[in-house]
Amino acid sequence: MNTYGWTRRAMIAATTALVSIGGMAHADGHQVLDEIHFLIPGGAGGGWDGTARGTGEALTDAGLVGSASYENMSGGGGGVAIAHLIENAESLDNTLMVNSTPIVIRSLTGVFPQSFRDLTPVAGTIGDYAAIVVNTDSDIMTMDDLLAAYRTDNRSVAIGGGSVPGGMDHLVAAMVMEAAGEDPTGFNYIPYDAGGTAMAGLLSGEIQALSTGFSEAVTLADQGEVRILGVTSPERVDAFADAPTMTEQGLDTTFVNWRGFFAAPGISDAELVAYQDALTKMYDTAEWEDVRGRNGWVNIHNNGDDFVTFLTEQEEVIGELMKKLGFL
């Protein structure tokens, strides 16, 4: 097995060397795992796909993992891949599934019957905060202004988002409304099929405010197209320090859209520790910094038990809110 591993690694190293010089430079003693097979619950080109491929690239280039392979398995909002991981747990060696906040939301709404508890949570690796933004031309300067406009005429403020009602963007807006002491079901939420069309809706004046991902908001704020009223991080984010947090405006709410990895249920402790070890070491490598910077990801590392605690809390907060919104 080991000889085979080395031959294969040498082959891979040789092939990579053909494409990129320096591919072999790191293939020395500190390798943690021979191979990882990434299971991606969505199609090529999506957010999950990018996260898995980027992580795999950093892990192999840094020499922490010998080789990485990828499998896209879409369907059922991610449910098909989850069912696959559970049903074939015993035969799926070296498999890590990528997932994110929707696994919590969709298991609550019953899109699929399983939840993160039926899998082995490995670690949350990156994340993105959420933000409420308005058009730069808008009179609304702060969250207070937005809330004041809403209190004057609640139908005059339509807040859009790039997800279905009960999806992430809607929940964030509802959380903010609730933190302000308002009825989370009172405002007019306008769903769009993607972040891009939602942004077009905001700029065209169809909606007055938009609930979106912070990194997307920063891209447009840099260009002077939108004003970020509030970000759901606990403290201001360095990437765009001008954006005030919700908490500093008296709205006690935080939210992070995490992305992370899960293994099949019932894997051995040794295997779990090896995965976590590889991912933890990854943060200190230049290769990860390269991938992370290129994708504009924020390191939010939640390992093992911390990850489970975080997921449990998020599930509780979202579950309660969804009950109030009438989705559960």
Q: Which residues bind other proteins (CB under 8 A)?
A: 20, 43-45, 49-50, 53, 57, 71-77, 79-80, 83, 109, 111-112, 155, 158, 164-167, 188, 190-197, 199-201, 203-207, 219-220, 222-225, 294-296, 327
> Any idea what DSSP says for residue 62?
T
Q: Cβ 130 to other proteins, closest distance in Å?
A: 18
Q: Cβ 294 to other proteins, closest distance in Å?
A: 4
Q: Which two structure tokens, joined as six digits, stand for 216? A: 């997307």
Q: Cβ 71 to other proteins, closest distance in Å?
A: 6
Q: HSE on the CB side for 16, CA within 13 Å?
A: 20
150 versus 307: smaller Cβ distance to other proteins: 150
Q: Cβ 283 to other proteins, closest distance in Å?
A: 20
98 versus 246: smaller Cβ distance to other proteins: 98
56 versus 230: smaller Cβ distance to other proteins: 56
109 versus 276: smaller Cβ distance to other proteins: 109
Q: Cβ 54 to other proteins, closest distance in Å?
A: 8
CB 114 within 8 A of CB 82: yes
Instruction: Convert 145-158 to b/e letters by CB count within 10 Å (16 or more is b).
Output: ebbebbeeeeeebb
* Cα separation, 27 vs 59, whole angstroms: 11
136 versus 312: smaller Cβ distance to other proteins: 136
Q: Quickly count: other Cβ atoms within 10 Å of residue 228's Cβ.
A: 19
Query: Exposure of 294 by Cβ count < 10 A (0-12 exposed, 13-18 middle, 19+ buried)?
Result: exposed
Let me know the angle formed at the C-alpha of 284 by 257 and 65, rounded to the nearest 5 degrees: 90
> Which helix (DSSP H) or strand (DSSP E) does residue 105 occupy?
helix 102-108
Instruction: Convert 301-316 to b/e letters by CB count within 10 Å (16 or more is b).
Output: bbbbeebeebbeebbe
Q: Cβ 7 to other proteins, closest distance in Å?
A: 26
140 versus 199: smaller Cβ distance to other proteins: 199
